[in-house]
Amino acid sequence: MTGSWYAQRFRPDGGITAEGLRNQLGRPALSLPTVLVRESAQNSWDAKADGARTVDFTMELATVGPAQLNAWRSLLSTGMPSVPPEVFPLRPALREMNLRYLSVSDRGTKGLGGPTRSDYAADAGHRNWLSFVLNSGEARDTEGGGGTYGYGKGVFFLASAVGTVLIYTRFKDDAGALRTRFIGSSLWASYTSGDRPFTGRHWWGVAQDDHCEPLVDAAADEVVRALGLPRFEADETGTTVTIIEPNLLDPTVPEEEAQQLPPEEAGRYLADAMGWNLWPLALEGRRRRLNPRMVVSGAPVAIPGEDNDAVIASFAAAYRRLQTPDGELVECKRPRRLLARFAVERTFGAKSRSKAASDLGLVDDLTEGEAPHHVCLMRTPELVVRYVPGPPAPHRDIGYAAVLRVEDDLDATFAKSEPPTHDAWIDSQLHGQEATFVRVARRRTKDRLDEIAGARKNTIVAGDQPVGSVARKLGHLLAGVSASGTGVGGPAVQLAAGSTTAGGFGSLLGGGPGGGGGSAGSGARAGGARRGSGRPRLEGLPHFVESEGGTVLEQRVRLPGRGRFVASVHVVTGDGKLESDPYAGAVVPSVIGWRSEVGTLLAGDTVDADVPCEVTLLVRPVVDATLDISVAVAAP
Amino acid sequence: MSVRTYPYRTPTADRVVADSWVRVSTSDVEIFGGPLEGWDYATDLHLRRSVVVDCDGVRSDAGLRTDIPIRICVRSRPSSSLIRTLEATVPLAAGGRQSITLDVVVAGRNLAGAVTMETVLELAEDVVEPAPFTAARASSMLWRDEAAASLDGDSGLLPVAPVSFSAAGLPPGAAWYVSLDTARWEWAAMGSLLVLLNTDNPAVNAALEDPTTAGARSLLDTLEVDLVTDLVGRAVEDERFRDSYLAAGDEDSPDDDFSLGSLVRALVRVRLAQPNESVDEALSRLRELRAGDPSYYRAAVQHGLGYPRSEVG
Amino acid sequence: MSRLYPRLLPGAASRRFKDLQVMGPQPPKEGEEPSLADAVFAATGGTRVTGPDLTKVRFDLVERASASGFPTQRSRTGYAEFDVSVARYLHGACGMVPGEAAQRSVWSYFGLVLVPDICAWRYPANETRGFLDDRFVGADLTRHTLGRLWLRAHLLFDDGVGDPYGLIVALGEADMDQILARRLDVAASPALVREIVRAHRDDPRAGSGPKDRDVLRDSLKRLLRLAAFLDLDSLSRHQLASLVHEARDSSRRTLESR
């Protein structure tokens, strides 16, 4: 058995036109390839089979090989409506030698089972075929499904330059047997032919009077084999949607000027789009994960992810932190409700440069690249809803990658706020508390981003006018809290250090050379204060005197009375301390002795007195050495 | 006790007569020595002193020939880094009495803590064939003195930054902006409070130039009352402040943690509380006042601060 | 315009140091800005650094430390590389005026809030005393893990030559510490320090006779005596160089004769 085309007529009670269906998706803010990746992956994720750990999601861009070209032409021409190409553009496309297609396959998914005609009742679990192939706009019935609208599949038709896709699916029927189905579907423009109006929806399959049935099982498999499209291995289930003549215009140039991307570039773009939109589902270690793959003419293309892209790795790190204590709670105060969790990862030097990231608003300058300054919004399905930019960090190389994930119990609320393309949260679509929740989450996120970027205020650069005197005039306001330590040089540690050095070598020199200025002379004065205390006192300053044995230093000393006194002399070093560790072979000064008032000389450093008297201490000086001379009461 | 001596003869004290350093600023002249009011890194210290040197006497006391060149050098040394900077060198080649004026500008960026100014009379060159134990090496110090001043006194400085509001995206004609950066009351006041002064505003600029004029004083008085009104008002409104600083219940606990919240309590205690009113009571009263009659609240702050503080004229 | 860095007042610094002894270093959490709790800024005199600025400084320091083995590997050569690259960085790229960098409390913030993990890697706890407080708390600029590096760069900064930080690599840590320890005299004159380092680096007799390090240390002691009566700051570079050479020659001769 083989198939042929079936054209849908308007029924007496009306019907939706092909144009109407095509327009349902609206005009997405994102580029078509990005939307295709997001919507098709979401469809696949929502369709994951019970118990499957991994959903394989593969896009394959290829050209129909010469061996298969005849099969494509003969099979898909069968029963083709006799209408002009404007309303059925597949006809001229089939004559092309380079017939391209993009197949989107998921495995580990349920496949499209259930009734094949919409006038038969089917319960919730059995509507996959109906909702994917026939109906549109009906609510999802999948727990944690990515969207509340059934528009996801519309993008496949938009993505085909000829409005035509081929659907091949395998599922388990109620008896547990593996079944396959194949159907073509075309959606372009309504028209009138032979006075009869047609909706513009066509199916290629087993045409009936009032609808079209798919080819099934062996017949379906045979057609797919003949067309050379991806098939099923072993007991795999899932769906492959093949987009004929995919519309892959360069999204970085205006639509009017855009050219079809060469296959390698298109594949690169789609691979990047998978990485940037699907990374949360693709993370290793998830309980159930999506495994995205991109193949161009049989060759795999790497998908950017946690392992090979620094920016995605940063978002992933933030995502992983959500459930740890580092995850911040985003709460609404009135009514009190936990709305979402938030986490952020700082980035340094990580920059995005891909066109797909640019499409998501992550990068403006594709040549230089850009550090991320975004929060990735997500909810229960953990697909990227959107990257919302925050203020850039002040340094080019610094960025931040944040993730905001809505709490599961608010998933429906936030889902409702999304437009059909699931790329924003719009509270005007909601009412009452639900609107508040969306608004509060958005505002708190914005505040956080401002904070993270350091953009609470504009970057403020202080001028160079001295303002200290003004600060001082107003300083009394701080009286309660500004003990020393808050001024520029305040802390006690510094004051201590200051006082040490302020009294450094200079003032220690005391009654030294020239007596110094007003601040010198502390040594002599300190001595004066001790007058009569029983200690020896140095009178005046030492001076150099030439003598037979060379130059000596003489210092007058007043001895207070009976007792033994000892003199010592040391080298002073630049830090004002006495030298403790002279250089090798250093000459050190020495005490020569004492000369009494009557001129007798006593050698050695000690002297005895019976009564108060004045003596002269003789010291042997050293070239290039400042000296410290002291006299003390000798230890008994 | 001990004395110290350089390894060469030095002049007697009366050979050099030096006046005190004075600080030269736009508004007045003050003796250098006390705390330098209102210094910051952007403030260069302009100092001046005159010194009279009996050059012949110096040389003869020091045992130097009359042709030996001497000079005066000035160096500065902050207590923080202890790194010295040569600020001036004045040669004194001639004999007789020489009177010189030392005029130095010490760069503010190098300073912190306290600064010590050293004045040194020294040999300008090495001496060929010196007599024993006379100064011989260039830069041998013959006389020196030093004077130190603390760069900031014991009382506090209110954190202030001069900012071009037009460049910063703030209302360009404004005079100031009280920035409570994080509104985290438990953080140090000196970290989270900052008053931005608009350098685009001529009156503000004039006040920065010379804060002692009548116009400047009146402007600053107004800033003061505005700041306190704002700060206390925001505190009493903020539940985070009330949680941590109002319901404390322990009236006697000292507000000694330097936090912004403690600053508010201190301001209220010192300026705004009525006789026999506790800080907590005053805060509650101010809050009610502000909610019920904001104008009266402002008047209460003006009263508490004695606004305007400056005498007229 | 200078940048004002946060400062940790002595009370907060000692509290945090106690915590460090007990719990080990608590660096800023990944993705969070370094805490400004307890931090104060100078009232006036520059532009306060922002949280992102501090994050950047931390990142830069971590990057440099990582290149030298942080956090797991510790080696003499790693430490030496770290010291050199961080000295350059702190002095050349952080926008601190010397007055600000000389504030001990700024270094307390670095050591106890911004990069305690790096300081703990550079100066690990020892078995008897644990972490040494002066490596973390800014009490002595010559001892603090990072403050000493800034000081080193500041003293050796040689404006007007190709690489103004070229002298940093000329001396090892122990030798440099010898000089830094003489802060009130020798190290108070950066020009003298540079001549000392230059003479050490360029000594044609290096490697023969007495150990280079002994020559350096002995000559430093000679210079210390001179510093007590010479105004080293008014000497020309040439005069300083000849003082240093004279001291080195004398030391070398004396040491050789032993």
Q: Confidence class of residue A152 from pLDDT cuts 50, 70 and 90?
A: low
Same domain, A190 and A212: yes
Q: Is C239 on the interface with B (CB under 8 A)?
A: yes
For residue A361, give the nearest of A397, A385, A340 by alpha carbon: A385
DSSP state letter for B268: I
Q: Are residues A157 and A220 in the same domain?
A: yes
- For residues A391 and A362, give the distance between their C-alpha atoms in angstroms, rounded to a whole number: 12
Q: Is C87 on the interface with B (CB under 8 A)?
A: no
pLDDT tens-digit series, residues C135-189: 999 888 888 999 999 999 999 998 877 888 888 888 888 888 888 776 656 778 8
What is the pLDDT of chain B when averaged over all its residues? 85
C224 touches chain B (CB under 8 A): no
Asked if the model's pLDDT at residue B250 lies above 80, the reply is no
Q: Are residues A382 and A268 in the same domain?
A: no
Closest CB from B7, B79, B119 relative to A623: B7
**Together in a domain, A280 and A376:** no
Host domain of residue A622 = 532-633
In the numeric block, which tokens belong to residue A480? 């309660």
**Contact flag C48-B187 (C-beta cutoff 8 Å):** no
Note whether A270 and A321 are same-domain residues. Answer: no
Minimal CA separation from B275 to chain A, in Å: 18
User: Taking CB atoms and an 8 Å limit, are A475 and C43 in contact across chains?
Assistant: yes
Among partner residues B41, B82, B120, which is closest to C231 by beta-carbon distance? B120
Q: Chain C interface, mutation test: which of A464, A583, A622, A628, most C Cβ atoms within 10 Å?
A: A583
Strands A373-378 and A384-389: antiparallel
Contacts of A463 in chain B (CB under 8 A): 161-164, 199
Identity of the amino acid at A152: G
Q: Is the pLDDT of residue A464 over 80?
A: no
Q: Which residues in chain A are contacts of C251 at CB distance < 8 A? A: 583-584
Burial C234-252 (b: 16+ CB within 10 A, else e): bbeeebbbebbeebbebbb
Of A453, A473, A492, the residue at which a domain comes to its end is A453
Residue C87 has pLDDT above 60, yes or no: yes
* pLDDT on residue A520: 32
Q: What per-residue confidence (pLDDT) applies to A567?
A: 94
Residues A387, A416: one domain?
yes
CB C70 within 8 A of CB B51: no
The rounded mean pLDDT for chain A is 81
For residue A460, is pLDDT > 70?
A: no
Do A117 and A227 sit in the same domain of this protein? yes
Is C170 near chain B, with CB under 8 Å? no
Task: Assign residue A590 the CATH number of its domain.
Answer: 2.60.120
When pLDDT is averaged across residues B148-177 and rounded to a whole number, the result is 78
User: A176-187 as b/e, with b when 16 or more CB fall inside 10 Å?
Assistant: eeebbbbbbbbb
Taking CB atoms within 8 Å and a gap of at least 24, the contacts of A139-145 are A140/A46, A142/A46, A142/A47, A144/A46, A144/A380, A144/A381, A144/A411, A145/A46, A145/A381
Q: Residue A505's pLDDT is what?
A: 29
Residue with more model confidence, A235 or A365: A235
From the list A584, A580, A586, the residue with the least C-alpha distance to A628 is A580
Task: Decide if C42 and A581 are in contact by the 8 Å CB cutoff.
Answer: no
CA distances from B192 to A452, B121, C28, C101, C150 (A): 16, 48, 19, 21, 27
Q: State the pLDDT at residue A473.
A: 76
pLDDT digits (tens, 9 = 90+) for A18-30: 887 777 666 667 8
Is the pLDDT higher at A473 or at C133?
A: C133
Averaged pLDDT for residues B38-56: 88
Exposure of B60 by Cβ count < 10 A (0-12 exposed, 13-18 middle, 19+ buried)? Answer: middle
Instruction: Tell me, yes or no, whether A479 lies in a domain.
Output: no
Examine the domain organization and report whether A547 and A444 are in the same domain.
no
CB B3 to CB A626 under 8 A?
A: no
User: Mean pLDDT for chain C?
Assistant: 88
Query: Residue B159: which of C41, C187, C233 has the nearest Cβ?
Result: C41
pLDDT at A490: 32
What is the sign, positive or negative, of the torsion defined by CA atoms of A549, A550, A556, A559? negative
| CA A565/CA A56 separation, integer angstroms | 100
Are C225 and A571 a contacting pair at CB < 8 A?
yes
| Max avg pLDDT among A193-197, A425-429, A460-464, B228-232 | B228-232
A501 vs B contacts (CB less than 8 Å): 77, 79, 82, 116
Q: Which of A154, A384, A403, A164 is nearest to A273 (CA)?
A: A384
CA distance linking residue A571 with residue C224, whole number of Å:
10
Confidence at residue B152, expressed as pLDDT on a 0 to 100 scale? 63
C169 touches chain B (CB under 8 A): no
Contact C43 B80 (CB under 8 A): no
- pLDDT, average across residues B25-36: 73
Evaluate whether C90 touches C153 at the Cβ level (below 8 Å): yes
Does C99 contact B42 at a Cβ distance shorter than 8 Å? no
- Chain C residues within an 8 Å CB radius of A467: 44
Which of A281-285, A464-468, C36-40 is the most confident on average?
A: A281-285
Judged by CB atoms closer than 8 Å, whether chains meet at C218 and A464 is answered as: no
Q: What is the structure's pLDDT at C40?
A: 81
**pLDDT class for A493, splitting at 50, 70, 90?**
very low
Chain A residues in contact with C48 (beta carbon < 8 A):
462
> C-alpha angle with apex C144: C119 to B188, nearest 5 degrees?
85
* ipTM tops 0.95: no
Q: pLDDT, tens digit, for every residue of A444-455?
A: 788 788 777 765
Which of C2, C44, C102 is closest, CB to CB, to B160? C44
| Chain region(s) in chain B for CATH 2.60.40.10 | 13-150
Query: Tell me: the pLDDT tens digits for A568-627?
Result: 999 998 888 889 889 999 999 999 999 988 888 899 999 998 888 999 999 999 999 999
Asked if the Cβ–Cβ distance from A513 to B143 is below 8 Å, we say yes
Q: Does the structure show a pLDDT above 80 at A555? A: yes
In chain A, the percentage of residues whose pLDDT exceeds 70 is: 85
Distance from the B293 Cα atom to the nearest Cα atom in chain A, whole angstroms: 25
Beta bridge partners of A569: A629
CA atoms within 13 Å, Cβ hemisphere of C13? 25
Chain B contact for A483 (CB, 8 A cutoff):
yes
Pick the CATH number of B13-150 from 3.30.70.2340, 2.60.40.10, 3.40.50.720, 2.102.10.10: 2.60.40.10
Residue B295 pLDDT grade (very low, low, confident, very high; cuts 50, 70, 90): very high
What proportion of chain B, given as a percentage, has pLDDT over 90? Answer: 43
Which chains does chain B touch, 3 or more C-beta pairs < 8 A? A, C
**Which two three-digit tokens encode residue A221?**
């498999």
β-bridge pairing A373-378 and A398-406 = parallel
Question: pLDDT-derived band of residue A390, with 50, 70 and 90 as boundaries?
Answer: confident
A545 to chain B, minimum CA–CA distance in Å? Answer: 10
Q: Are β-strands A328-332 and A337-348 bridged in parallel, bridged antiparallel, or unpaired?
A: antiparallel
Pick A581's closest partner by Cβ from C7, C104, C221.
Answer: C221
pLDDT at residue number A333: 64
Query: What's the CA gap between B226 and B197, in Å, rounded?
Result: 13
User: Does residue A315 share a domain with residue A232?
Assistant: no
- Determine which of A447, A486, A555 to mutate to test the interface with B (most B C-beta atoms within 10 Å): A486
Q: What is the pLDDT of residue A499?
A: 26
B130-148 pLDDT, tens digit each: 999 999 999 999 999 988 8
pLDDT digits (tens, 9 = 90+) for A91-146: 999 988 889 999 999 999 999 998 888 888 778 778 888 888 876 544 344 443 44
Chain A residues with CB under 8 Å of C254 CB are 583-585
pLDDT for the residue C1: 60
The answer to whether the CB of B152 falls within 8 A of the CB of B162 is no
CB atoms within 10 A of CB B240: 13
Q: Is the pLDDT of residue A434 over 80?
A: yes
Three-state DSSP state, B49: strand
pLDDT at B2 > cutoff 90: no
Contact indicator for A416, A314 with CB cutoff of 8 Å? no
Phi, psi for residue B97 in degrees, rounded to 5: -90, 130
Percentage, residues of chain A above pLDDT 90: 36
3-class DSSP assignment, residue A524: helix
* Higher per-residue pLDDT: A301 or A434: A301
Could A478 and B156 be called an inter-chain contact, meaning their C-beta atoms sit closer than 8 Å?
Answer: yes
Asked if residue B116 lies in contact with residue B2, where contact means CB atoms within 8 angstroms, the answer is no
A259-264 long-range Cβ contacts below 8 angstroms, 24+ apart: A263/A61, A263/A63, A263/A100, A263/A296, A263/A297, A264/A296
Q: Is residue A32 part of a domain?
A: yes
Rg from Cα positions in chain B:
28
Interfacial B residues in 209-238 facing A (CB < 8 Å)? 211, 220, 223-224, 227-228
Tokens of A541: 């300053």
Per-residue confidence (pLDDT) for residue A379, from 0 to 100: 85
Q: Sheet of A606-609: strands edge to edge? A: A606-609, A563-572, A626-633, B2-5
Torsion over CA of A158, A162, A168 and A174, rounded to 10 degrees? 60
Instruction: Tell me, yes or no, if A631 comes closer than 8 A to chain B by beta carbon.
Output: yes
Residue A464 burial (CB count, 10 A): 17
Show which of A254, A276, A301 is a domain's final residue.
Answer: A301
- Asked if B42 and A550 come within 8 Å (Cβ–Cβ), the reply is no
Number of domains in chain A: 3
Cross-chain residue pair A488–C225, CB shorter than 8 Å: no
CA distances from B49 to B12, B38, C107, C135 (A): 21, 22, 36, 42
Together in a domain, A295 and A395: no
Once rounded to an integer, what is the mean pLDDT over residues A45-70? 92
Query: For chains B and C, what is the number of CB pairs under 8 angstroms?
Result: 136
Q: Is residue A328 part of a domain?
A: yes
pLDDT at A501: 25
Residues 6 or more apart whose CB falls under 8 angstroms from that of C236 comprise none
Nearest-Cα distance to chain B for C72, in Å, is 33
Q: pLDDT tens, A226-237?
A: 999 999 998 999
Whole-number pLDDT of residue C184: 58
Model confidence at A514: pLDDT above 50: no
Identify the pLDDT of residue B275.
84
- Chain B nearest CA to A625, separation (Å): 5
pLDDT tens profile B59-112: 999 999 999 999 999 999 888 778 899 999 999 977 889 999 999 999 988 887
Average pLDDT for B16-26:
86
pLDDT digits (tens, 9 = 90+) for A177-197: 999 999 999 988 889 888 888
Closest residue of chain B to A467, computed from CA coordinates: B208
Which residues of chain B are within 8 Å of residue C5 when distances are taken between CB atoms? none
pLDDT for the residue A221: 95
Whether residue A621 and residue B157 make contact (CB cut-off 8 A), yes or no, is no
Name chain B contacts of A620, Cβ cutoff 8 Å. Answer: none
Mutation target to probe the A interface, by most A beta carbons within 10 A, among C44, C133, C248 is C44
Inter-chain residue contact C224 with A576, CB threshold 8 Å: no
User: Which residue ranges make up each domain of chain C?
Assistant: 1-162, 171-258
Interchain contact C197–B (C-beta under 8 A): no
State whether residue A503 sits within 8 Å of chain B by CB: no
Instruction: State the pLDDT at residue A142.
Output: 44
Contact B76, B106 (CB under 8 A): yes
pLDDT one-digit tens code per residue, A252-279:
777 778 888 999 999 999 999 999 999 9
Instruction: Check residue C103 and give its pLDDT.
Output: 83
Q: Is the pLDDT of residue A504 over 50?
A: no
CA A298 vs. chain centroid, Å, equals 34
